[in-house]
């Protein structure tokens, strides 16, 4: 069986991880996105899913204290799972945005509020030090991240944080942060149909600086389309057929082929999809297939 190690490894500072990880947002159920409908995810099932991910070689998880629904917290579920697991797992969390007790989003945290967010993550995860903390830039209003990132750099020097990263940023923010402290990863929305990080040069900048680029929403909305047999891109369908793979696997494989510094953090609550996502790391696309997928203007809804 394929494991997360099949995709290769990358080093976040001094922490070597397999390139396929796990995004924890879906663990909280629908309420994370402000929709309280639907039954909350079963805690035992969530912990079992995480343990299965660890068994399959997943050794880094993306989470945040603001990943919660009325009855579930991603950090709490991860804490439970890690308490019953003997191996090492790198946990990357985020600070900056926040949600009140009712789930409503709050404005971007002020620099003086970031320590409280870091300490909340420490408490929820049951740790004395956070492996990676990403400063998540929330909205276009924060043009300079220097003051916010400087606070996190101070908390890193104080020992509360091991490594620092960025999320939802532009290339100039990476440059600004690097003048303050080392950056081990950058998280931005990126995928076959959303390549703004290519257009801005962000993906290449990260590669040049030895920084992991960690796309989120790499297969956003695809599960819904795939469940209805509605993969909208004829190119993806063609490549998937050639490899006896799913469209989601092709999209994840395309992302990983973008560079050795590119990681993947697909999230799911379905054990079958978990196995499928991890197996995508073994999918090797040919140069011709990559050229086909990279070609502009080829997306088609028909067969």
Catalytic amino acids? 67
3-state secondary structure at position 160: coil
Six token digits for residue 36 = 């309280």
Q: Which ranges of the chain would DSSP assign to H, the alpha helix? A: 43-55, 74-83, 114-125, 146-157, 171-178, 196-199, 202-209, 222-227, 234-243, 247-256, 271-279, 287-294
Reported for 228-233, long-range contacts at CB under 8 A and 24+ positions apart, including other chains, are 232/299, 232/300, 232/301, 233/192, 233/193, 233/298, 233/299, 233/300
Q: Please provide residue 213's backbone torsions phi and psi, each rounded to the nearest 5 degrees.
A: -105, 120
Beta carbons of 136 and 142 less than 8 angstroms apart: no
* Strand bridging mode 68-69 / 72-73: antiparallel
Beta carbons of 263 and 214 less than 8 angstroms apart: yes
Q: How many CB atoms lie within 10 A of CB 270?
A: 12
Residues with Cβ within 8 Å of residue 206, at least 6 apart in sequence: 174, 186, 212, 213, 261
Six token digits for residue 196 = 């703004």
Residue where the block lists tokens 């590119």? 262
Burial grade of 267 (CB within 10 A; 0-12, 13-18, 19 or more): buried
């Amino acid at each position: 069986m394929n494991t997360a190690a099949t995709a290769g490894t990358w080093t976040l500072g001094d922490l070597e991880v397999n390139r396929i990880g796990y995004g924890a947002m879906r663990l909280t159920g629908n309420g994370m996105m402000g929709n309280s409908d639907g039954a909350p995810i079963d805690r035992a099932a969530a912990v079992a899913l995480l343990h299965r991910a660890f068994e399959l070689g997943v050794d880094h998880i993306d989470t945040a204290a603001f990943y919660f629904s009325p009855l579930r917290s991603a950090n709490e579920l991860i804490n439970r799972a890690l308490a019953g697991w003997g191996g090492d797992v790198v946990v990357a969390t985020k600070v900056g945005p926040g949600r009140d007790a009712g789930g409503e989003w709050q404005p971007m945290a002020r620099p003086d509020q970031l320590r409280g967010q870091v300490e909340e993550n420490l408490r929820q995860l049951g740790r004395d030090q956070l492996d990676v903390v990403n400063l998540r830039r929330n909205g276009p209003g924060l043009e300079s991240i220097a003051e916010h990132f400087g606070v996190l750099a101070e908390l890193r020097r104080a020992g509360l944080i091991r490594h620092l990263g960025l999320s939802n940023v532009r290339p100039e923010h990476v440059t600004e942060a690097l003048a303050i402290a080392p950056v081990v990863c950058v998280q931005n929305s990126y995928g076959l149909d959303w390549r703004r990080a290519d257009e801005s040069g962000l993906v290449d900048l990260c590669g040049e600086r030895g920084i992991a680029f960690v796309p989120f929403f790499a297969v956003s909305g695809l599960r819904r389309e795939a469940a209805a047999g509605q993969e909208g891109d004829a190119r993806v369908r063609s490549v998937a057929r050639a490899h006896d793979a799913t469209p989601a696997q092709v999209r994840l494989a395309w992302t990983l082929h973008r560079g050795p510094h590119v990681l993947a953090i697909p999230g799911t609550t379905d054990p079958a999809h978990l196995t499928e996502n991890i197996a995508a790391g073994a999918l090797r696309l040919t140069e011709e297939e990559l050229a086909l997928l990279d070609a502009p203007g080829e997306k088609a809804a028909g067969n």
